[in-house]
Amino acid sequence: MLRFMSLTLLWAITSLAIAADLRIQGSNTIGANLGPALVKAMLAQQGLHDIHSVPASPPNEHSIVGTDASGQQVRVDVAAHGSGTGFAALKAGKADLIASSRPIKDRELVELEALGDLKSPDAEQIIAIDGLAIILHPGNPLNQLNTEQLAQIFSGQISTWEALGGITGPIHLYARDEQSGTWEIFKELVLSRTGNPLSHNAQRFESSEQLSDAVSNDPQGIGFIGLPYIRGAKPVAIVDGLSQPMLPLNSLIASEDYPLSRRLYFYLPPATSNPWARALISFTQSAQGQAIVAQNGFVAQSVQATSVTPGAHMPRDYQTLTTQAQRLSVNFRFEEGSASLDNKARQDLLRVADYLKANGKLDRQVTLVGFGDAKDDPERAQLLSKLRAMAVRRELVKSAVVLREIRGYGAQMPVAANTEDEGRIKNRRVEVWVY
């Protein structure tokens, strides 16, 4: 038995001494489970067999090996130490594909411009939607927080549960580490509102699972985590500005209406010639790949029609729309400061067109509904929201879609606060309704 284990370890060490066929570095949120699952399924689709993981070190690293029909081995290395480490590895020539739980930063774009435009549609691939869940101990009776309160809690300005009308005692903070894309998104969506840094009392974690389990075991604890890692903790509903309270539900995250929703990315340098990287991108965007996204606890980008319950916060004719039609699980959004659809919207155009064709909805069965951020002139806000819907129509027409109606509701029904750029971008959206 000892000899067998020694031979196995020797084989693993020898195999890892050979350069990997594909090197993926970056996000722990992606790399812990989703990335390896996508790699294994992609290798199987490509006809490989005997697909398995090889022991690797340090922690949060995986090597996935398969064998092709000729007996040649293919190895994919996945290192999951945080989104920032991925871009650094790409710059150092130690990665072929980046997994990131936040968009690439302007500084990183400049540093990596020799590799091509990493913001181009082919390079920036949105692979899934996630939501940052704010989690508490299951015994904490608090059910709702707004983003301003969150900023005050995690900066240490609010330090006791009594100040929130909850249980008694001090608040214990749990946060992801500095290299984490989850941390970067939380910092951007929450802490930036006050301009204050994270409290020095916060405990930091590289592992999402460990953070979630720590909160679950601490009655005074609060933390933030990606959707698949809620585990035994209790998520709370979030309010942003004038939005309705929203739990991190799949339907609200799929549309990116949930205030702390975020996109997960693969970044592929445009000039790459690595066939395994391109194969993984293609597989991940396929229906089979998106099914694996869902199986791993994230929200897939597959299009579904859902019924919406009318509410008093809705305009009257919008309430009528909810009784006559269903809303698709996709919102079209736009590049910052532009009337151009963003990279996710470009991908979603194809998905929506395929859905409409498959369900016989091409001829006057679709209504587009545009929204925007607040303007000094409400009529201008309404016009801009309708123009956004018309921009989507121009693209859908190319797929032979004949619309029933276009509506614009201006700044009504905000899903985010208009005080920050991120919120304004989220409010500038186009919904798709089908009859």
CA 406 to chain CA mean position, Å: 28
Residues of the chain with CATH 3.30.1330.60: 303-434
Q: Which of 321-335, 341-355, 406-420 has the lowest mean pLDDT?
A: 406-420
Give the largest Cα separation in the chain, rounded: 78
Element (DSSP H or E) covering residue 185:
helix 181-189
Paired tokens of 380 = 């201008």
Whole-number average pLDDT of the chain: 93
Q: Distance between CA 371 and CA 379 in Å, rounded?
A: 12
Residues 6+ apart with CB under 8 A from 407: 317, 318, 367, 368, 369, 370, 386, 389
Hey, which bits of 252-347 come out as E strands?
261-267, 305-306, 326-333
Contacts of 101 (CB under 8 A, 6+ apart): 27, 29, 30, 83, 130, 180, 181, 182, 184, 185, 226, 262, 264, 265
Neighbours of 19 (CB within 10 A): 8
Say how many CA atoms lie within 13 Å of 331 toward its Cβ.
Answer: 23
**What's the mean pLDDT in 398-411?**
96
Residue among 397, 361, 228 nearest 300 (CA): 228
Could you tell me which residues come within 8 angstroms of residue 232 by beta carbon, excluding any fewer than 6 positions away? 138, 212, 213, 216
Q: Which CATH number fits domain 2-127+264-295: 3.30.1490.20, 3.40.50.2000, 3.40.640.10, 3.40.190.10?
A: 3.40.190.10
Nearest to 366 by CA among 403, 401, 326: 403
Question: Quick check: 138 and 232 in contact, CB under 8 A?
Answer: yes
Distance, in Å, from the CA atom of 350 to the CA atom of 398, rounded to the nearest integer, reads 10
In the numeric block, which tokens belong to residue 94?
């130690």
Which pair of tokens denotes residue 202? 């916060």
* Annotation: CATH topology of 303-434: 60s Ribosomal Protein L30; Chain: A; (3.30.1330)
Domain 130-254 in CATH 2.60.40.1180? The answer is no
pLDDT tens figures, 131-169: 999 999 999 999 999 999 999 999 999 999 999 987 999
Token pair in block for residue 335: 């590049």
Q: Which residue has the tokens 């994919």?
A: 76
pLDDT tens per residue, range 230-273: 999 999 999 998 899 999 999 999 999 999 999 999 999 998 88
Q: Write out the residue limits of the CATH 3.40.190.10 domain(s) in the chain.
A: 2-127+264-295, 130-254
Check whether the bond before 259 is cis (ω within 30° of 0).
no
200, two tokens: 């020095």
| Number of residues assigned to the chain | 435
Beta-sheet pairing, 172-176 with 203-205: parallel
pLDDT score of 10 more than 50: no
CA–centroid distance for 192 within its chain? 19
Which H or E element spans position 367? strand 366-371
Tens of pLDDT, residue by residue over 332-376, are 999 887 789 999 999 999 999 999 999 999 999 999 999 999 888
